[in-house]
Chain A
Amino acid sequence: MRTLLFLLEKEFRQMMRNRGLLSILVIAPMIQLILLPLAADYTVKDIGMAVVDYDHSPFSRKLVDKITASGYFRLVGYEPSYKEALNLVEQDKADLALQIPAHFERDLVVDNNKDLYVAINAIEGTKANLGGAYLASIVSDFNSDIRLQWLGPAPDATPQIEVASSNWYNPLLNFHLFMVPAILVTLVTAIASMQSAFNIVQEKESGTIEQINVTPIPKTLFILGKLIPFLVLSVLVFTLGLLAGWAFYGIVPVGSLWVLYGSLVVYLFSMLGMGLLISTYSGTQMQAMSLAFFFINIFNLMSGVFTAVDSMPKWAQYIVETFPTSHFIKIMRMVVLKGSNWGDIGYHLAAMAVIGVFLNGWAVLNYRKTV
């Protein structure tokens, strides 16, 4: 026990002396956490529309006006031909092309139905989907207006179902409430795993680990002495992040801070374990870095921070279940936004704990053998 204290004293002293590293680990992330969530905005708006109007009538103009009046669409211009409108889409100057065929109004009355032609840039799938949905809904509204205008209120109007929607937990649909906690997690993930992987490999590379091996310090104690300072550092960065979230975005966790920090510690336990495991398989710092970056990037992109896990193919979802990060992201959002309690997050907490025990166990076993 005393030995551990001496180890910790040394690690903390060294950490404090390393001013440059500390500023990278603390200041740079904070600045990014404050600025970059402003970039995160999925709302589909300002969709550029190129119109090809073969009808040239007040009717078609009314339709286009109604579309642009919705606020979702922006008229890029009227093109003389469909080909030219598509050209605009190709050059990313427009997102969709709308073709109103000739004699639209006349054919609608005569045949009782008539189609518009729409082509949407679908590289970004959701934007295309929602854009198409908005357009369809506006056209449908226009349709009802026309019917009312020309035919008068129908005596036997068709029954219609209306949708009354309400939003719970975030009625203002503040996207920052959702993104800032998640971005904080990506930062803490990178710090915890990289640091623990790197630090031990550094001692291996410089040979100082040999000196430690000759002393009577048990290996597990040495590992503990290495991991605890990073745990403290990560918790510190997390706390600063929460404060920044409160100061700049007005984010106040609805749930209990105990639950939040308790989950954080379990999460860090697994991340530090992963870093440790990586360090046992790396001979040089460059190897540790490549391996750690691989996992960090995968965790950060696939754990549901930016994209929905539910949308992934089944096999990917199973893989993601083994990522501690995906569980912690869920916990973060549940506790901060919905005030979920221990019972609610129980499954995720247990998952992280199990993964953590597995990673740390493997790491310690491997460490004993190889270092």
Chain B
Amino acid sequence: MKQLIVFIKKEFLHVFRDRKTLLMLFGLPIAQIVLFGFALSNEIKNSKIVVVDYSKDPVSTQLTAEIAASKYFNVARSLSNARGLEAAFKKGDIKMAVIFPEHFSDDLIHTGKATLQVIADASDPNQATTVTNYLTQIVTSFNARLAQAAGQPLQIGSQTRMLYNPELRGAPNFVPGVMALVLMLVCTMMTSVSIVREKELGTMEILLVSPFKTVYIIIAKLMPNLLISIFNLFVILILSDVFLDLPVKGSLLLLLVDSILFIMTSLSIGLLLSINAKTQQAAMMGSLMGMMLPTMLLTGFLFPIENMPLPLQWLANAVPSRWYFIIVKRVMLKGMGLGSVWKESSILAGMAILLFTISLRRFKIRLQ
């Protein structure tokens, strides 16, 4: 035990003497998460659109005003005719065009129906569907007001409550997601590169020739990264509370324990990657290229996992960050306890133990 502590102390000295790397290890993950918490959301807002009004009557003007007032739209310009549309779309300026045909309100009053033409730039299908839906929503409520003004009977209304995130901010979804992403990637990269670095310098051999157990050496190597990541985690939680209004509603201890398990899985993956890498560069690129996309896409904060084809859902189940994301959302944002996350926590714990054991064994084998 005492040997282990000596080792750990030495590893800490290494890390803390390298000021530049230290700054980056602490500063960068934190900076990223705060930035993303403020800037990212899945919402579609301020989409630039164009209105072409051939009719220019009270109804079309009123409806145009309502569209412009909506936070979803940013009426870039009102064209007098639709000829410039194709060019405008190609230039990438606008996402949608709303066209009022001639005699709009006349048709509405005399035939009881008028058709509004909407053209969406579907190169981004998601945005196209969403902005079309938002526009339809505005028209629907406009219609409903027309109906109410005409004294329509039998109105079914709905009172809607948005839970956990009434302002529909992006932070509640992205902060946990990016936390999982950044912790996973940084821990994996740091661990794999630093171990390969020792291999390159030759100092690893010295350690391995010593009478100390390999497992102690590995634990000592992983310690500084573990503790730095835990520190980062605390800073992120504090910043989320102070700047992003996302306090930890549930048990901090539970969150901490699960975070440690999660970090252990990343560190073990880093260890595994370091075994076959001959150079720091190979370790680095292996970690980055191997983990970046899968973690981004399969954690569940960008795309819902339930939507994915079944094989990819299974693949996602093998990605530790997918489970950690659920745990953070439930414990931090909803304030739930162990009872609701025991399944995910056990999976995470199982992964941590499994990955650590496998990587330890392979590490030992490699040396022989």
Contacts and interface: CB of A to CB of B under 8 A. Distances in A.
A340 B158 contact: no
Interface string A148-159: 001100001111
Interface string A247-288: 000000000000000000000000000000000001111110
Interface stretch (A123-131, A209-217, A222-230, A352-360): A123-131
Contacts of A109: 154
Nearest to A90: B334
Interface in B139-193: 139-140, 142-144, 146-147, 150, 152-166, 168-170, 172-173, 178, 181-182, 185-186, 189-190, 193
A154 to B, nearest CB: 8
Interface stretch (B230-238, B307-315, B355-363): B307-315
A162 B146 CA distance: 13
B154 A150 contact: yes
A161 B116 contact: yes
B42 interface: yes
Contact of B336 (A38, A90, A199, A296): A90
A316 to B, nearest CB: 4
A198 to B, nearest CB: 5
B307 A41 contact: yes
Contacts of B126: 42-43, 175, 178
Interface residues of A, number: 124
B219 interface: no
Contacts of A113: 154-157
Contact of B118 (A25, A160, A166): A166
Interface residues of B, number: 128
A290 B28 contact: yes
Which of A161, A194, A334: most chain B Cβ within 10 A?
A161
Contacts of A125: 41-43, 165, 168-170, 173
Nearest to B125: A173
Contacts of A306: 296, 302
A122 B137 contact: no
Nearest to A199: B281
Interface in A134-167: 135-137, 139-140, 142-143, 146-147, 150-151, 156-167
A298 B89 CA distance: 28
A24 interface: yes
Contact of B133 (A130, A283, A338): A130
Interface string A85-123: 010011110000000000000001100111111111111
A166 B156 contact: no
B125 to A, nearest CB: 4
Given A161-B114, A173-B122, A312-B40, A167 B157 contact: no
Given A25-B285, A123-B173, A175-B125, A316 B156 contact: no
B255 to A, nearest CB: 16
Which 5 A-B residue pairings sit nearest by Cβ, starting from the closest?
A290-B24, A167-B122, A316-B39, A337-B123, A122-B162
